[in-house]
Amino acid sequence: MYFRPLYFTSMRSFFYILLLLCFQTGTSQTFSAWPAQVLDQELAWNEANECYIYFDHPADDTLHLKWRQVEMSLPEGWTADLCDYGLCYTGIPANGTMNPAYDTVRPYLKLIVQPGTLAGSGWLWFRAIDVQQTSNFLDVYFNLHTPGTVGTNTPESSTFQVFPNPATDVLFVKNDYATNAFMQILDVSGTVKWQGSLAAQTTLSLDIAPFPAGVYFLKTGKKTERFFIWK
């Protein structure tokens, strides 16, 4: 894997990547996710936490969606059930079809997650697909965590930046420290996927194409920044 340091003044490639992502995401889609395509939610212990992603569409159209589970990773001991606009399931099945949504009604995917007293971080990836036109689809992600895990940022102000977030093939890390900083990228299991030193006041581009989609954490010192990779 090759890592190439960049100075922050050279941002044209970053904005070019963002434009490509926006173009790829926007082509042929007639519906969008609300409040976001990636729902980042902290869960309360010993409670049934409801986590919603809604789907917006033009008011004069009928939206009929089906969905499938693409991938998920939850800590052992957490329980999760799924509801969609039509049915509630025990557990999380591989796929399902929602009721048609008319006028301003927004269909949804809802997770009911009970972490008990277990600290941890998890994520779930679903694809929502237009029943009438299967090329019209949208990927959505639930990024969930409980307090006290590596997935939560410390209250100190961050001295480095990670972008874009979510990322696909390239991740940029900017070191705002006045000195060199040693950094690590870890997955949700705590496995170190990359580590290295970044010079003060510089930006590093990382090739993350080999990394599977999911939640990752960039750590330096006592600070942690959570980011997401999707494919």
Q: What does pLDDT average to in each consecutive run of 10 residues of the chain (231 residues)?
A: 40 40 51 90 89 90 94 88 96 96 93 87 91 93 72 47 85 83 82 86 90 85 79 70
**Which CATH number do you get for residue 12?**
2.60.40.3080
The pTM is what? 0.61
d(CA 69, CA 107): 17
Q: Do residue 132 and residue 184 come from a single domain?
A: no
From 93, 120, 145, give the residue that closes a domain. Answer: 145
Domain that holds residue 184: 4-20+152-229
Cis before 93 (ω within 30) = no
Tally the domains of the chain: 2
Answer yes or no: are the C-beta atoms of 11 and 212 closer than 8 Å.
no
Q: Are residues 36 and 140 in the same domain?
A: yes
